[in-house]
Amino acid sequence: MWEAIVANRRRSALLISVMAVILVLIGYSAGMLIGGPDAGGFGVLVALGIMTVMLLVYFTSAESVLMYGTYARELKREDSPQLFDVVDEMCLASGLGFTPRIYLIDDPAPNAFAVGRKPETSAICVTTGLMYRLNRDELQGVIGHEIGHLKNRDVQFMTLAAVMLGTIVILSVIVRQYFWYGGRVRGRSSSRDGGGQLQIIILVVGLLFAILGPVMAQLLYFACSRKREYLADASSAQFTRYPEGLASALEKISQAHVPLTFASQATAPMFIVNPLTAATGEADSVFSSHPPAKDRIRVLRAMTGASFADYEAAYRRAKGGALIGSQTLKSAGQQTIRAPSNQGPIQTHRETHDAVRRYHGYMRLHCNCGLDISVPDGYEQDTIRCFRCGSVLTIPTATTVPAASPASANAIPPVIPGIAPPVLATTGPLQFHRTNRNSWESFRCACGRTIQLSPAFDASHITCTACGRTIAVD
């Protein structure tokens, strides 16, 4: 949507300038509070420095910073082919031109969000709770919504806002704490003239900003993010040609009543349904970052076609007022809603479960009786008894090649896992022999850490994440 992209570009510029002004004011007042009236300029310098750091963080590593607190793990295609298929489908439908990375968060609360400073580095996150609950049509609707955010450049603005908001909140907390717990306005006694009064006024204004800064930042943030949820819903309906998929997904997500454990004020607006109010029920106020899910569902279900024009009509009927820009509506054609796909519940429950287990370092052993056993990381014995048939399985371990012969790095004799004793070697290269190249395989490093090899693993060696040793894989 052309208008949405332009609006987001404008908002980003506005946000950066407003944030700069707020920061300078807070910096000035903080400087005067802490170091006396002469330190105001120093405070401004500090604030500008912080602004620079913020922008540096944003331009270099915004995605990883925002992803850091969520414990999200990147998925590979082998982990969940169906999820990747759905994302590919939506990328094709939207003409996005590239596939975002996909992350999985191990959390029972169903939710999803997208982050990314620019489209090429963007990522879509889903929770395991979402994967367990939705069928293919519903998942398509959710992914379509996130791709819509990417297409409209919402994600860009949200990422910028989240990075900036995070910094503002931290800064004003520092100022407030200093003021309440240790701060004395030392400069006050030395102010004798009009300049001093002016400084006090600036100080008070600055202090107000320190208190109001986070609230204002949040208000700005929320005011922007409400309409964009409707716009992303409209995009989703247009991509999938099936608004009921997203409507039913939103219903499931909002009625799950499971709180998301890692959601914070700074990241909440990025999610498809507000994770902070999802567990308690939603209130439509100026402070809520999302429009109520029930309103969004009502608009989606009132649609008579799948185009932007149909969404606009449904929105006007349900909520009143205009939503989509006229430029977009002019080129929106007639699109009929397709029939449900009947592709049934997606088969990803097991896949998701296995992926989560792998990320927690579980080793997967296949017994000849057909049972797959998950062995947790840190299991100390070298063998395990099958729960069903009772046969004893050996834990595959990378074996050590004696360091004595200098040519050992090249001429490593083939070693069968499990046969050599898993002594914790201090020297010599490690070696692991792969038995099956077409499936997931896990083995234990000599230090005890479980190492996973995906079906796509094609290198000659891998580095242990715990002890850093290189293990040759053949």
Quote the least distance from Cβ 437 to another protein, whole Å: 17
Taking the C-alpha atoms of residue 399 and residue 425, their distance in angstroms, rounded to an integer, is: 9
Element containing residue 384 per DSSP (H, E)? strand 383-385
Query: Does the protein bind another protein through residue 347 (CB under 8 A)?
Result: yes
Quote the least distance from Cβ 298 to another protein, whole Å: 24
**Which has the closest alpha carbon to 98: 150, 157, 59?**
150
Residues between 228 and 247 that touch another protein (CB under 8 A) = 239, 241
Quote the least distance from Cβ 51 to another protein, whole Å: 35
Residue number, 192 or 330, with CB nearest to another protein: 330
Residue number, 89 or 377, with CB nearest to another protein: 89
Q: Exactly one of 189, 342, 368, 383 binds another protein (CB under 8 A); which one? A: 342
Specify the stretch interacting with another protein by CB under 8 A; choose among 106-114, 202-210, 285-293, 332-340: 332-340
**Which has the closest alpha carbon to 30: 194, 164, 202?**
202
**Which has the closest alpha carbon to 290: 260, 269, 316, 267?**
269
Q: How far is CA 279 from CA 87, 142, 273, 275, 468, in A?
A: 27, 19, 11, 7, 42
Query: Does the protein bind another protein through residue 90 (CB under 8 A)?
Result: yes
Specify the stretch interacting with another protein by CB under 8 A; choose among 9-17, 90-98, 120-128, 264-272: 90-98
Quote the least distance from Cβ 96 to another protein, whole Å: 10
Residue 229 appears among annotated catalytic residues: no
φ, ψ for residue 131, nearest 5 deg: -65, -35
Quote the least distance from Cβ 97 to another protein, whole Å: 7
- The answer to whether residues 168 and 214 touch, using CB atoms and an 8 Å cutoff, is yes
Q: Exactly one of 3, 78, 85, 251 binds another protein (CB under 8 A); which one? A: 85
Per annotation, catalytic residue among 3, 89, 120, 146? 146
Residue number, 103 or 239, with CB nearest to another protein: 239
- The answer to whether residues 153 and 99 touch, using CB atoms and an 8 Å cutoff, is no
Quote the least distance from Cβ 1 to another protein, whole Å: 13
Query: Does the protein bind another protein through residue 131 (CB under 8 A)?
Result: no
Specify the stretch interacting with another protein by CB under 8 A; choose among 68-76, 148-156, 331-339, 441-449: 331-339
Quote the least distance from Cβ 390 to another protein, whole Å: 27
Q: Exactly one of 6, 52, 69, 88 binds another protein (CB under 8 A); which one? A: 88
**Which has the closest alpha carbon to 143: 92, 211, 214, 209?**
92
Concatenate the DSSP letters of all residues of 407-432 into one string.
Answer: GGGTSPPP--TTTS-----SSS-EEE
Query: Does the protein bind another protein through residue 89 (CB under 8 A)?
Result: yes
- The answer to whether residues 369 and 349 touch, using CB atoms and an 8 Å cutoff, is no
Residues contacting another protein: total by CB under 8 A: 22
Name the token pair of 196: 């001093």
Query: Does the protein bind another protein through residue 95 (CB under 8 A)?
Result: yes
SS3 breakdown of the chain: % helix, strand, coil, rounded to 5? 50, 10, 35
Residue number, 17 or 336, with CB nearest to another protein: 336
Q: Exactly one of 6, 13, 21, 92 binds another protein (CB under 8 A); which one? A: 92
**Which has the closest alpha carbon to 235: 324, 157, 145?**
145
Residue number, 81 or 195, with CB nearest to another protein: 81
Taking the C-alpha atoms of residue 35 and residue 29, their distance in angstroms, rounded to an integer, is: 10
Q: Exactly one of 177, 190, 197, 331 binds another protein (CB under 8 A); which one? A: 331
Helices 40-68 + 2-35 axis angle, to 10: 130
Specify the stretch interacting with another protein by CB under 8 A; choose among 111-119, 280-288, 341-349, 373-381: 341-349
Taking the C-alpha atoms of residue 292 and residue 35, their distance in angstroms, rounded to an integer, is: 47
Element containing residue 399 per DSSP (H, E)? strand 399-400
Catalytically active residues are 146
Binding site for another protein (CB under 8 A): 81-82, 85, 88-90, 92-95, 97, 239, 241, 331, 333, 336, 338-339, 341-343, 347
